[in-house]
Amino acid sequence: MYDCRTCRGTDLQKQRNCPELNEKPQFPLYALDNEDIWYCPVKSLQDEIWEVNYYFTCLSLNHLPLAGGIDDQFVYDVYLMMLIKTIIEEYNAKLSSHTNNFRGT
């Protein structure tokens, strides 16, 4: 995960096209929806995106946001994680469908 604190003063700033360097990147960092992203997006992301990323990371690691069991979690947290899980499953099903169509199966 990109984090400004771990990048500053290291080669990572250049590798990740940090806008703090005020240098024109030689290549796009990645593409999103067929649009090239030239600079590290960390500073431009809204707080809500970071919150969703936190819950996505919890899901990916099979962890709950708070210590304890499911009953110890805030209802908001549980619903948000369920929503993220549903979105991921739908995306993976769509991706799988496109892959199978491409293969002719």
Cα–Cα distance, 28 to 35 (Å, whole number): 10
> What confidence score (pLDDT) does residue 30 get?
82
Single-letter residue type at 43: K
> What confidence score (pLDDT) does residue 105 get?
52
Query: pLDDT, tens digit, for every residue of 57-94?
Result: 888 899 999 999 989 999 988 888 888 888 888 888 88
> What confidence score (pLDDT) does residue 102 get?
61
> What confidence score (pLDDT) does residue 72 get?
94
User: Is pLDDT at 43 greater than 90 in this prediction?
Assistant: no
Query: pLDDT, tens digit, for every residue of 1-35?
Result: 567 888 888 888 888 888 888 898 888 888 877 88
Token pair 């069991």 is found at: 69
Cα–Cα distance, 46 to 27 (Å, whole number): 25
